[in-house]
Structure 1
Amino acid sequence: MSNLCKNRTVIITGAGGGLGRAHALAFSAEGARVIVNDINEMAAQTVVEQICDNGGTAKASNFDITNYQACTDAIQDAVVTYGGLHIVVNNAGINRDRMFASMTEDDWDAVIAVHLKGHFCLSSNAVRYWRSQSKAGRTVSGRIINTTSGAGLQGSVGQSNYAAAKAGIVALTLNQAAELARYDVTANAITPAARTGMTKAVAVMAERMKKPDDNRFDYWSADNVSPLLVWLGSEYSAHITGKVFEAEGGKISIADGWRSTEGVDKGDRWQPGEIANVMDQLLAKENPAQPVYGTEWP
C-alpha cells in the first residue's frame, strides 16, 4: 500500500462494480478512506469487504445520488465517520439507449437525472462543506472528479440522452473549476474507455473490448483508468483544474475543447442571400470534429 492519498477521504458513486469498483480499490491502495456508494447495497458491501481484506478502510453507502437531502446526509456522514471529506468521484451512470425518433420522456428523464443531476447533488453538498471550511480559515484540498464520455464530446448514435447529459457534465466541470478555485477546490472530468456492464450490453462494443485469452495487456480493463483519478484526487494535483482527460488502455490525453475560429467579418449585417458564400469560406478553413460515434459502424 502506498501513501499518495493517505488520510484523504473519497466518496465514489456507482462503485459496486465496473469502473467505480476499480476506482475504489485503486484509491484504497494509495491510502484513501473510501465511501463506496452504489444503489446495490450488496455489491457495495462486497467491494468494502475486499478493501478491508487488503488492509484498507472503507464503508458502504447506498444513498440516492439524485436526492439532494440524501447527498447532504452522505457528506455529513463522511465528515463524522472520517473527520472530513477531500474527494468526490461522480461515476454512477445508466443507459436508456434508443434512436432519437423513438426516445420516450422517461428514457430522457432517467438518464439526465442519474448523470447530470447526480453530479450536481453530491458535488453541491461537498462544495458547501469545503466553502464553510475555507471561510473558517481551515486548509481545504478539495477535488471533484466528474465522469463524462466520448459520447458527450462528439455525440453517439442511439444515445442522444446520454450524450446530452455527458456534454452537460463537461460544461459543469468548466464552471466548477472557474468558480471554486477561490476555495482551493479543483474540478476535472475524465472520459474513460473501458469494459463495463454498459459496454457489454452493446454487441459491437462487447466484441471489440473483450478480455484477451492470453497474457497480453488487457487494453480495455477498467483498472487502467483508475490511476489517473487517484492522482487527480491527491494533494499533488492542486494546479490541475478545468481539464477533460481521456483514459484508454495505457494512454492518457487531454480533450481539446470548443474554440472560436477566425470567422468572416463583413463589418455590417449579412443578408440571407450572402450566407452561402460565407459558409463556403468558413467550411474551407474548418478543422473537422471527430465523427459521431456510430456513424462509422457497418
Structure 2
Amino acid sequence: MREGPPSATEGGAPAVPIRGSTTVVGVIGWPVRYSLSPQIHNAGFAALGLDWAYVPLPVPPGKLRAAVEGLVAMGFAGANVTIPHKSGAAELCDELSEEAARVAAVNTLAVGEEGRVRGHDTDVEGFDRFLRGEAGCDPAGRTALVFGAGGAARACALALARAGLARLLVAVREPARAEPLVRALGDLPTEVEVMRFGAAEGAELGEGGIVVNATPVGAAGERLPLPRLGPGTVVVDLLYRPDPTPLVEAARAAGAEAHGGLGMLLHQAACSFELWTGRAAPLEAMRAAAERALGAARGR
C-alpha cells in the first residue's frame, strides 16, 4: 500500500500532495477531463512553495448549485468555472465583480469570510493582458470580429471595448443570442453590429483588424466563415486543441498574425491565481507546465 497523503493529479501530471493543511481550489465544468488548468495552477503553487492544490471537479448540468454549496461546506478557497456553467455560476454568487456583473458570467469563484462567494470574470483582464501585453496588439481605433456571444465572447468584447476598440462585429448563428453581449457594452462608445455566422465572410475589417474565435468551431476540423485576412490582421483562436487549430493555420497561410488559445488561458489563470493567493503568478512556470501537458497529449 502506498504511504503518505493523497494527491491531486490530472493527465499524467506530477502528483500534488494534499494534507490537512492544504488549501484546495479546483475547476468546475462538464467535462473537465482534458482541462490544462490543474497542471497550470499546481505548477504555479509549486514554484512559489505554496501548500495549495488544484483539482478537477466534474459537475454535470443540473448539479451546479450543489457544487457551489459543496465548495463552501468543504472549505475550498474557490474554483474556476468553465463550460457549460459560466452563466449559471453568476446567478449563484453572493456578490459579483464589476466585470462579472457586466458580462453576466463567472469564471472564478472566491470563497470569503463566513462562506460568502464572490464571482469574478478573469477572462476580461486575462484577454487584455494577452492581447495588449504578450501579443503586442493595441485595439484602440480598430475593428474586431468576434465569433460567438457566450461568456468568453462577452469577456473578450468587454476587454476590447474598454481598450478603445472603434467597431465590433459579432457573428452568431442566432442574432438574439448576442443581446447580453450588446447590453454588456451599452455605455461604452464602441459601435456594435450583430451578424449571422455566414455573413462574416463579407465583413470589412480595415487595416489592422482583429478576429477572435470564442466558439467551439474548429475543434473537430470545422472551419469558420472568415473575411479576407492579410498582413496586419491579428487572429486569436481561444481554442488550443488541436495545435495549431484550423483557424490559426488558415490565418497564417493568409499572412496574418495568429495565436492559439494557450496565451489567453494562461493569463486568465494568472489573474485567478493572484485573486486567490495574493501573490504574483509565476507565469513562465505555469506556461512550461501547460506546454508539457500539450506535448504529452500530442504524443498519445
When you count strand as a share of all residues, which structure comes out higher?
2
Give the TM-score band, short-chain normalised: 0.3 to 0.5
Give TM-score scaled by structure 1 length.
0.40
When you count helix as a share of all residues, which structure comes out higher?
1
Q: Compare CA radii of gyration and give the structure with the larger one.
A: 1
